[in-house]
Amino acid sequence: MSRYVFHSAWHLAAEPDEVYRVLADVESYPSWWREVRSGRRLDERSGEVVCRSVLPYSLRMVLIHELADPVTRVLQAQLTGDLVGTSRWTVRAHGDGTVATFEEDVTLERELLRLVEPLGRPILRLNHHLMMRSGERGLRRHLRAE
């Protein structure tokens, strides 16, 4: 029951290569995505992010890059830490802009979240939705400023 599958599509008025470049730079996320409190590189293949949305808890995750392909504009990572699973960005041209699709399939590993999960599932999903909506808005502002 602690498994979550998320899907978001961000419609952006920017070139696909530019969107891919920004999404590939996880260390820059805190500059445009307020819920990503920190992002740092651990080594050539991995980094760590700390996220906090509306609910009063932070999630710490290590991202181990499996795929970073600027030709197909796909980014995929394995997640460990408070969430375990996979995340994937796919960036595609759409009309005169771009659609960046985020897919995540994770399980909760943090004990506190697993305890509240049976009753709090709708709240946890809403928390994720609000974080993604904020990220889309932040990325739009960031791309306009560049």
Distance CA 59, CA 36 (A): 9
Distance CA 120, CA 34 (A): 23
Q: Domain 3-145 maps to which CATH number in 3.30.565.10, 3.30.2010.10, 3.30.530.20, 3.90.25.10?
A: 3.30.530.20
23-72: pLDDT as tens digits: 999 999 999 999 999 999 999 999 999 999 998 889 999 999 999 999 99
**Which residue type occupies 4?**
Y
**pTM for the predicted model, two decimal places:** 0.92
Distance CA 143, CA 130 (A): 20
Distance CA 26, CA 7 (A): 19
What percentage of the chain has pLDDT greater than the value 90? 83
The more confident residue out of 18 and 54 is 18
- Domain locations in the chain as residue ranges: 3-145
- Provide the token pair at 28: 């820059």
- Provide the token pair at 54: 């509306």
Who's near 62: CB < 8 A, 6+ residues apart?
42, 46, 47, 48, 79, 80, 81
In the predicted model, is pLDDT for residue 113 greater than 80? no
Who's near 54: CB < 8 A, 6+ residues apart?
126, 127, 130, 131
First to last CA, the chain: 42
What is the number of residues in the chain? 146
Q: Report the largest interatomic distance among the alpha carbons of the chain, rounded to a whole angstrom.
A: 45
Task: Determine the pLDDT at residue 1.
Answer: 58
